[in-house]
Copies of this chain bind each other. A is one copy, B any other.
Amino acid sequence: MTPLQGFKEYLLQKISLSDDDWSVIAAACTIRKLRKHQYLLQEGEYWKYHAFVAEGCLRRYTIDNNGIEHIIQFSPENWWAGDRKSLMENTATLYNIDAVEASTVILFRDEDFQQLCARLPVFNNLVNHILQRSLNASQERIQVVISMTAEEKYLNFITSFPQLNNRIPRHMLASFLGITPESLSRIKKKLHGRS
């Protein structure tokens, strides 16, 4: 299945589209392949797109003064990525986004995306819906990180995102959970006995 077909299926799962609607959308799509570790966005740049992850997995993170990465979010296939803040406010982004695995993203220039929203109300609704879902997910994550111990956060992750657990290097999982790789290693040892 091509990335575009994947995106079409994703859309059809959520909303109903005529063939015409789809051609309008498809016309605005740009496909970009990313190799593992390749940047989609780097701190200081200006983000101008909306990005749908068709294949692979991206991460969004910051780097602190000590050079430590802090992963805000993973975006596996069928999720969206980007930095709406940079886009909305036309400011330099504070985040880095790169590919955890070789990935394929579908890019929309913001102008095209806004036109799609204006032209296809159903598309606009979907966008809002996704925004709300993102906000919900974000707030659940806040609750997790302010209320749980390292071990609880790990357990919560492997039950909430079992499919991601195997795809992501441990040090990135540690960074996502807000703990050190050493701590994560010890927690795993304690829980699973080995490996």
Contact flags (1/0) for A22-66 with B, using CB distance below 8 Å?
000000000000000000000000000000000000000010100
A131 to B147 alpha-carbon distance, docked (Å): 24
> Would B138 and A139 count as touching, CB distance under 8 A?
yes
CB-nearest residue of chain B relative to A63? B147
Number of copies: 2
A68 to B64 alpha-carbon distance, docked (Å): 31
A119-176, CB < 8 A from B: 128-129, 131-132, 134-136, 138-139, 141-143, 145-147, 176
Q: Counting CB contacts under 8 A, is A84 at the interface?
A: yes
CB-nearest residue of chain B relative to A117? B128
The CB with the most chain B CB atoms within 10 A, among A85, A128, A141, A146, is that of A146
List chain B residues, Cβ under 8 A from A178: 145-147
A9 to B70 alpha-carbon distance, docked (Å): 39
List chain B residues, Cβ under 8 A from A147: 62, 64, 68, 70, 178
